[in-house]
Amino acid sequence: MRRVEWRTAGAQLAAIRRGVFVDEQRVPEALEWDGLDAACLHVLATSTSGAPIGTGRLLPDGHIGRMAVIRDWRGRGVGGALLAALVTAAREAGHAQAQLNAQVHALGFYTRYGFVAEGPVFDDAGIPHRAMRLVFNQP
């Protein structure tokens, strides 16, 4: 797991996201690429052989998003490692909380890491989502 920049690792990050979101989940390509990637902190998970297997990003405002793990690596701790790295990055950036919009089927995953669902279910790219928040303990 390592932090990367879009300008140097964008092709790897985009390949993972395209495979998961565009190909598997049928998110329209135009909705996946929102123009914010260059301003985000990204994390990249790789296999022991160095193949890219997962990614996620932290927006400057403390929102976590675009978490994706390729199918063969799901259920093996990659998503949790990605989330932990992004939460750490949010804390280090001085944010009082981390926020994300979770696909409804993944609410349990985020809840296990301390995130709390808020507000109603809403549609994002044809997929039901719910806002979630993790408030950091203040020192």
pLDDT of residue 77: 94
- Give the mean model confidence (pLDDT) for residues 101-105: 95
Q: Which helix (H) or strand (E) holds 33?
A: none
pLDDT of residue 139: 53
Instruction: State how far the Cα of 47 lies from the Cα of 1, in Å rounded to an integer.
Output: 9
Token readout for 48 is 């022991």
Band the pLDDT of 100: cuts 50, 70, 90: very high
Structure confidence by residue, pLDDT tens digits, 5-56: 999 999 999 999 999 999 999 999 988 999 999 999 999 999 999 999 999 9
pLDDT of residue 138: 60
Query: pTM of the prediction?
Result: 0.94
Instruction: State how far the Cα of 129 lies from the Cα of 94, in Å rounded to an integer.
Output: 26
CATH of the domain at 118: 3.40.630.30
Number of structural domains found in the chain: 1
Cβ neighbours around 92 below 10 Å, total: 10
- Per the structure, the complete domain to which residue 42 belongs is given by 2-135
